[in-house]
Amino acid sequence: MRNRRGITLIELLVALVIAAIIAATAARSFSFALTAQQRLDDAHLRDQRIRAFEQRLVDLIRGAEVTSSATNEASFFIGADSPDSLSGGGGLEGSNATSLTFTTFGGRINASTLDSDDDFETLNQNVGPQGGVTEVSLSMTPVGTPTGVEGGLYLREQKPADGDPTQGGFESQLNADVTNISFEFFDGEAWQTSWDTRTQQGVRRIPAAVRVTYNLSSDTNDQSHVLVIRLPHSDVTVDNPATQTAGATQ
């Protein structure tokens, strides 16, 4: 008969070392998997925020509309180099507009007003005017001093529009992550760096599309985000362009 031999100390130590190596490898793989999943989740969340931001820009800018009357100053479409230049019209020559101010008709109505039993005067006092012509402004430079926020892209809305694109309304921070933004305008033939319906002769026209270029502080490289937004209320086409002449659009 053969005598059974027990496990030697060396064999036990070898087994423990192998088990430790396997455990360490498994822990490292698990940690790497968790890190990779967290990065994927962060990237997905960031993409969702970018898509939501761009959809908000699309919803706002697609509503741009002006009256055709050359004497009606209550509606306008102005792409300028800064809010300060809105009173003078136009942007800096050769530089893209960094501020966009326009009017839109039939703005969104606050859902709370639909279910309210208050009369018109009370609603107007509590939530402000609803519907009608709204003035919308997008700029990196706030007109006023929004409470508790600083930097990023600002949105200013005024209901009803008062014909003055330089002030008024309620201003808020639309996206704190935006480090710069610029706007270009398609006139049916080429992209223009500025646009101002107040300087147009005859029937006023808005561009066929707006190209928005912006950067985010969370970008890991120098990439620029580009968004092209078609304006459904524009009559500008390749066959019917809006000709830019001497600071005016015809």
Note whether residue 225 is domain-resident. Answer: yes
Enter the tokens of residue 3. 């005598």
Global pTM?
0.74
Would you say residue 39 lies in a domain?
Answer: no
pLDDT of residue 5: 61
Of the candidates 34, 31, 52, 30, the one whose C-alpha atom is nearest the C-alpha of residue 42 is 34
The H or E element containing residue 178 is: strand 178-186
Q: How many domains does the chain have?
A: 1
Answer left, alpha or beta for residue 235, where phi above 0 means left and psi between -120 and 50 means alpha: alpha
Structure-token pair, residue 200: 């147009």
- Give the domain range for residue 189: 68-249
30 within domain boundaries: no
Q: Is residue 49 part of a domain?
A: no
Would residue 174 count as lying in a domain? yes
Q: Does residue 8 lie within any of the structural domains?
A: no
Residue 220 lies in a domain: yes
Which residues neighbour 234 within 8 Å (Cβ) at sequence distance 6 or greater? 205, 206, 207, 208, 209
pLDDT by 10-residue block (mean), the chain, 250 residues:
66 85 86 80 87 95 85 84 56 73 73 51 51 85 72 89 84 93 96 91 90 92 91 94 60
Q: Is 63 inside a domain boundary?
A: no
Residues sharing a CB contact under 8 Å with residue 61, sequence separation 6 or more, in sequence order: 100, 102, 138, 210, 212, 229, 231
